[in-house]
Amino acid sequence: MNKNRVDELLEILEKEAARIKKGGGISRIQNEHAKGKLTARERINLLLDEDSDFFEIGLWAANDMYKEEGGCPSAGVIAGTGKICGRNCMIIANDATVKAGAWFPMTAKKNLRAQEIAMENRLPVIYLVDSAGVFLPMQDEIFPDKEHFGRIFRNNAVMSAMGIPQIAAIMGSCVAGGAYLPIMSDEALIVEGTGSVFLAGSYLVKAAIGEDVDNEILGGASTHTEISGVTDYKVKSDTECLFTVRELLDKLGPFDEAGFNRKKPLEPELDIRQFVESFPDDSTRPYDTYPLIKSLADNGSFTEYKKGYGQTLITGYARIDGWSIGIVANQRGVVRSKTGEMQIGGVIYSDSADKATRFILNCNQKKIPILFLQDVTGFMIGKRSEHGGIIKDGAKMVNAVANSTVPKITVIIGNSYGAGNYAMCGKAYDPRFIYAWPTARIAVMGGTQAAKVLTQIQVSSLEKKGKKLSDDDKAGILEKIKSRYDRQTDVRYAAARLWVDAIISPYDTRKVISNAIECANQNPEIPGFKTGVIQV
| CA distance linking residue 392 with residue 174, whole number of Å | 52
| 3-class DSSP assignment, residue 79 | strand
Taking Cα atoms as reference points, which of 71, 159, 74, 85 lies closest to residue 115?
A: 159
Strands 166-174 and 187-191: parallel
* Residue 3: per-residue pLDDT: 62
Rounded CA separation 116/112 (Å): 6
Predicted local confidence at residue 2, as pLDDT:
57
What is the block-wise mean pLDDT of the chain (536 residues), using blocks of 10 residues? 78 96 96 97 98 97 94 97 97 96 94 98 97 85 85 94 97 82 93 90 80 84 92 97 98 94 97 92 90 98 96 97 98 80 87 96 97 94 82 93 97 95 96 97 77 79 82 81 82 96 98 98 92 76
Q: Which residues partner with 93 through β-bridges?
A: 78, 128
pLDDT at residue number 177: 67
CA gyration radius, the chain:
25
Strand, coil or helix: 355: helix
Closest CA to 474 of 488, 494, 490, 460: 460
- The pair phi, psi for residue 192, each rounded to 5°, is -65, 130
- pLDDT value at position 444? 81
Task: Report if pTM > 0.85.
Answer: yes
Neighbours of 17 (CB within 10 A): 16
Task: Give, in order, the Cα–Cα distances in Å from 5 to each of 10, 81, 280, 374.
Answer: 9, 30, 9, 20
* Integer Cα distance of 436 and 458 in angstroms: 33
266 touches 277 (CB < 8 A)? no
Neighbour count for residue 210 (Cβ, 10 Å): 7
Nearest residue to 242 (alpha-carbon basis) of 40, 43, 34: 43
